Amino acid sequence: MNRTVDFAGTTAVITGGASGIGKGIAKSFLARGSNVVIADIDEASLARTAKELGVLGLRTDVTDPESVQSLADRAVGEYGEVHVICNNAGVGPMSAMSSLTLEDWKWMIDVNLYGVIYGVHAFLPVLEKNTDWGHIVNTSSMSVVAPPPNLGAYVAAKAGVLGLTEVLDKELEQRNSVVRATALIPGPVRTNIMNSLRTRPAAGNSSLYDVDIADNGKNFRFLEPEAVGQIVLDAIRSNATFTATHAEWLPQVADRHTRIQQGFPPCKTPEQFSTEGNKP
């Protein structure tokens, strides 16, 4: 259901905001008169983008809950309130699951899932102080609903993001909160996520490797980050629990759900349930 949202004068905080989808989202909010705070672990990129856009840039390590809490505190201290948090920071190197080390798993889960958890934990109390509205946007991935090989750790984390966002939105609606939540499900977008290992702390043995999917021979349609920013704003206006970027992936999503349905036992009629109970 659509709601009346005036972005002018509101404040949006975006993690992973120095480049890619995060930067595109920041531009969309700026174009509608919002105050914008971008957060990123890449200090050089953060400084360039903050200067380019004329926004506040705060170095933030989303794997550190204290760093994320500091981001929330700084944003409130600067602007008084926050209406939108986009938990967007993510990393996407690849590896066969049989080759992943436990350190690989931990880093991927820490950034892609715990980064969102820490963002929700720090910002939800802030957003619920608003008298009009608030919104949480968590970036999941098209790879969750159409999973490819060699992205096991990434898909596992982003599936967690999808699930927690759906539950969160249901809980917020159930208690009539002014805050709602959206899972952003992006397909191929021109971003820097395929250069993720540059942000990883020094590690021991690792099987992870960066791959530019634009060079893998598949004919993907890549969106520009600014287009994703508009999709996010539309989702906030419509209170959408899910919003995706690429309609052409829908057949793959439908096929996956069909295969899941095929794993269920045959449905019983109400009469069968009443006479047979829950016998297999």
CATH value at residue 63: 3.40.50.720
Give the span between the Cα atoms of 173 and 34, in whole angstroms: 25
Total of domains in the chain: 1
Task: Report which of 180, 160, 39 is spatially closest to residue 105, judged by C-alpha positions.
Answer: 160
Q: In which domain, by residue range, is 28 found?
A: 11-250
Measured CA distances, 77 to 8, 17, 18, 71, 123 (Å): 19, 19, 21, 10, 13
pLDDT of residue 190: 79
Residue 256 resides in a domain: no
Cα–Cα distance for residue pair 4/66, rounded to 1 Å: 34
- Which residue(s) pair with 223 in the sheet? 189
User: Is residue 263 domain-resident?
Assistant: no
3-state secondary structure of 152: helix
Left (φ > 0), alpha (ψ -120 to 50) or beta: where does 9 sit?
left
Domain assignment of residue 89, yes or no? yes
210 belongs to a structural domain? yes
Residue 280 falls inside a structural domain: no
Position 217 scores a pLDDT of 46
Cα 179 from Cα 145, distance rounded (Å): 25
Give the span between the Cα atoms of 257 and 265, in whole angstroms.
15
pTM score of the predicted model: 0.90
Report if residue 177 sits inside a domain.
Answer: yes
Which positions are catalytic? 154
Determine, yes or no, domain membership for 113: yes
CA angle 269/272/278 to nearest 5° reads 105
115 and 160 Cβ atoms separated by less than 8 Å: no
Q: Residue 58 has what DSSP assignment?
A: E
Q: Is 227 exposed, middle or buried (0-12, 13-18, 19+ CB in 10 A)?
A: middle
β-sheet bridge partners, residue 134: 179
Place of tokens 């095929």: 262
Give the CA distances from residue 233 to residues 105, 182, 230, in Å, rounded to whole numbers and listed in that order.
32, 11, 5
Residue 268 Cα distances to 138, 169, 262, 264, angstroms? 37, 31, 15, 11
The one-digit pLDDT tens for each residue of the chain (280 residues) are: 677 899 999 999 999 999 999 999 999 999 999 999 999 999 999 999 999 999 999 999 999 999 999 999 999 999 999 999 999 999 888 789 899 999 999 999 999 999 999 999 999 999 999 999 999 999 999 989 989 899 999 999 999 999 999 999 999 999 999 999 999 999 878 766 666 666 777 666 777 756 766 555 467 777 899 999 999 999 999 999 999 999 988 998 899 999 999 999 887 777 766 666 555 5
Q: Is residue 119 part of a domain?
A: yes
